[in-house]
Amino acid sequence: MANKTFAVLTSGGDAPGMNACIRAIYLTAASLNIHLIGFLHGYNGLLKSDYIRLNNHNTKGIIAIGGTLLKSARCVEFNQPENLLKAANNLQALNIDCLIVIGGNGSLSGLYELKKIWFGQVIGIPGTIDNDLFGSDYTIGYQTAIDTAVDAIDKLRDTAEAFERIFLVEVMGRNAGFIALSCALASASEQALTPELVTDPHAELESIIAHVETVRQIEGQCSMIIVIAENLWPGGVTDLATTLTEQIGLECRPCTLGHIQRGGRPVAFDRILASKLGCFAVQQAAAGEDNLMVGEINQIMVTTDLATAVSHQKPLDTFMINMQQNIFEVYHG
């Protein structure tokens, strides 16, 4: 019987640890005598049949490197029927048995759409700094992104302290507040604003002002850091800083951490998680499993069908919310 061939691609926002995952997929596939190709530039490579063969040489040493060897891209037009068909034809022409996609919600939704018209197997791996995929406690890249953000906020604190200023720090997360909540907690920020907890930003303004005033009443002139998830405040942190400065008469400075959060050497946690997910994905595919996303929940490797993974919302950790909002923030004001 001919050896099987699997394909992998990385799609959407790159995340530190994607390379570790590609390496694990290659090593596991090789151990099972499965050939592996990697499409370049996300789904664009699949549409153009632009790929490389993965081997010992090009996967060596990549575990410690951020970004993705296979490059990434967003391909919004992938879900159009003619493109899905093209992708299916290209996979068939290359005799691909299974397509593995490492990416976030949008990328795995694309994979789910492809499965509707392609007879081959599809497996998704949660890879995004946003941590917003249902079916895995953590996604590849999230822990590194938090570390990067916390390191940056620690540095901001030094200058905030020196000037006794208020800083508004915008972190990534797409429409989820995992990064915001975690790095606010880890950096002892005075407030965290996340989309899950702030439904009406303008109504929130009063509470932000009240919070700042109370902190100042208790601690006097002092530094304050408020972490805000991106896409939460209309106009972003720059607008919010201007509004707050006008309303409370105190200098507020905005800082957007931006794409810095996506880069850097993956922390060991992400390398290990990515390796486990990559290995497990190949094992599942080799066993004939299909149309699912692999994940890890409570230290157990699990699978979730793709439809569920992309349509369910993963909730924030309620223990952390309570700590940050009802205990720590209350104590500070």
* Residues near 66 by beta carbon (within 8 Å), at least 6 away in sequence: 14, 16, 19, 144, 262, 263, 264, 265, 266
Per CB under 6 A, does 229 bind ligand F6P?
no
Specify the stretch interacting with ligand F6P by CB under 6 A; choose among 115-123, 126-134, 265-273, 274-282.
126-134
Using DSSP's 3-state secondary structure scheme, residue 260 falls into: helix
The one catalytic residue in 14, 50, 97, 130 is 130
Binding mask 268-297 for ligand F6P (x = CB under 6 A): ------------------------------
Q: How far is the CB of 190 from ligand F6P (least distance, A)?
A: 23
Residue of 8, 20, 96, 129 that binds ligand F6P (CB under 6 A)? 129
Among 130, 147, 270, 329, the residue binding ligand F6P under the rule CB under 6 A is: 130
**Residue 136 has what DSSP assignment?**
-
Distance CA 247, CA 38 (A): 53
Among 174, 211, 276, 314, binds ligand F6P (CB under 6 A): 174
Nearer to ligand F6P, 35 or 174 (CB): 174
CB 44 within 8 A of CB 73: yes
Q: Is 128 in the site for ligand F6P (CB under 6 A)?
A: yes
Which token pair is 184?
């606010």
| C-alpha span between 178 and 318 (Å, rounded) | 11
Give the binding-site size for ligand F6P (rule: CB under 6 A). Answer: 12
Residue 230's nearest CA partner among 251, 255, 210 is: 255
Q: Does 18 bind ligand F6P (CB under 6 A)?
A: no
Residues in Cβ contact with 234 at an 8 Å cutoff, skipping those fewer than 6 apart = 201
Strands of 191-193's sheet, edge to edge? 191-193, 224-229, 166-171, 252-256
Position 149 contacts ligand F6P (CB under 6 A): no
Pick one of 29, 172, 192, 241: the residue that binds ligand F6P (CB under 6 A).
Answer: 172
130 as an active site residue: the answer is: yes
Among the listed residues 104, 110, 127, 266, the single contact to ligand F6P using CB under 6 A = 104
Half-sphere exposure at residue 63, Cβ-oriented, CA atoms within 13 angstroms: 18
- DSSP letter string over 45-68? HHHHT-EEE--HHHHTTGGG--S-
In the bound state with ligand F6P, the residue whose beta carbon lies nearer, of 130 and 190, is 130
Give the contact letters, 312-331, x = binds to ligand F6P (CB under 6 A), - = no: --------------------
Subset of 20-59 contacting ligand F6P (CB under 6 A): none
Binding site for ligand F6P (CB under 6 A): 12-13, 74, 104, 128-130, 172-174, 230, 262
